[in-house]
Amino acid sequence: MKFTIYQESRQGKRKNNEDRIAYCYSRDALLMVVADGMGGHYYGEIASQIAAQTLTDAFNRDAKPMLQDPFLFLQRGMTNAHHAILDFAADHDLRDSPRTTCVACVIQDNIAYWAHCGDSRLYLMRDGRTIGQTRDHSRVRLLIDQGVITEAQAASHPERNKVYSCLGGHQAPEIEFSRKTPLEAGDVILLSTDGFWGSLPPDMIALSLKQANLMQAVPMLMNQAEARGGQYCDNLSVVVTRWEDSYVEAAQSSISTQTMVLGEVTTKLDEFGRNPAYKMDLSDDEIEKAIQEIRATIDKYTPPNKKSQ
């Protein structure tokens, strides 16, 4: 298993960054996660943190070194995150539960499996073209499907940010799954929040990443998305990987998992409140308390013999 991967999150013009991004990999499997939190105070950040951390924790437990059933893994992970967010809201007597969108992708055996809830997106790109993408669970997407508005009109529609499915809401989330999707060497998979994809056409993204160095091309796309977002630019976040399952000259950023032991997992997920990219108006004591509460909430959905030590 060989791939190049890059992730980045920016605050945009918002007061806080409620997005959370993560990836982790074992010798034979890769997981990528993007979540876009919604809620007052710092609770949007907690909802997205719970989603990302629930999935990465489960991957660390279950990818030994592969997942037995990737679709079942994604379904259980998102469902557990949904209930964990509801539990957090109940434990803190919140009037309204925080919420988050979520998109996650597993790659193993050279096959991609993904699931999403809300309007955080996944694009599958090949040879500079978008050959697959998720369908937003949003009111605007429904209007487009019904022929009421066009794709161009959707970009400036007043309800473009309203989703009808999310994790943490009062109704059970609608989790949509992909088909098993075989990958070819050079394929690019990009997961992002709407702050990124909302101002960049898919064709533009695909062409920009065709045979490009991800470490250079993705920050340039982030710059363009941030500039186009203007004074109201939303949080914008991406996790993007180029699959490299056949021999290519190794870039400095390439990751090869062949030397990893069977039970080893590497995770890239920032702890709550520890990354300046996720600005929040909390004291160190409040951050420490939130970290403990997130851990306790997630542990409710961890098998007793597999909880973090």
Q: And the tokens for 259?
A: 């030397």
Q: And the tokens for 170?
A: 């009062």
Confidence of residue 142 (pLDDT cuts 50, 70, 90): confident
Determine the Cα angle at 129 with ends 229 and 118, to 5°: 50
Residue 159's alpha-carbon distances to 148, 156, 182, 206, in angstroms, are: 13, 9, 35, 27
Measured between its terminal Cα atoms, the distance across the chain in Å is: 29
CA atoms within 13 A on the CB side of 291: 12
Instruction: Report which of residues 43 and 246 the model is more confident about.
Output: 43
Contact indicator for 102, 192 with CB cutoff of 8 Å: no
For the ranges 103-107, 121-125, 210-214, which has the lowest average pLDDT? 210-214
Residue 15's alpha-carbon distances to 52, 232, 233, 235, in angstroms, are: 21, 11, 11, 9
Per-range mean pLDDT, top range of 156-165, 211-220, 257-266: 211-220
Q: What is the pLDDT of residues 99-110, one digit of tens each?
A: 999 999 999 999
Residues 59 and 194: their CA atoms lie apart, in Å, by 25
Residue 46: what pLDDT? 95
Residue 153: what pLDDT? 67
Q: What is the pLDDT of residues 224-259, one digit of tens each?
A: 999 999 998 999 999 999 999 743 345 566 788 877
Q: What is the pLDDT of residues 60-86, one digit of tens each?
A: 999 999 999 999 999 999 999 999 999
Residues 276 and 299: their CA atoms lie apart, in Å, by 26
Residue 249: what pLDDT? 44
Contact indicator for 205, 221 with CB cutoff of 8 Å: yes
How many Cβ atoms from other residues are within 10 Å of residue 139's Cβ? 16
Residue 103 burial (C-beta neighbours within 10 Å; 0-12, 13-18, 19+): buried
User: Which residue spans within the chain are E strands per DSSP?
Assistant: 2-10, 19-25, 29-38, 99-108, 111-117, 121-126, 129-133, 176-177, 181-182, 188-192, 236-243, 254-256, 266-269
CA atoms within 13 A on the CB side of 233: 22
- Domains of the chain, each with CATH number or no CATH: 2-306 (3.60.40.10)
Q: And the tokens for 201?
A: 């056409």
Q: Which amino acid is at 158?
A: P
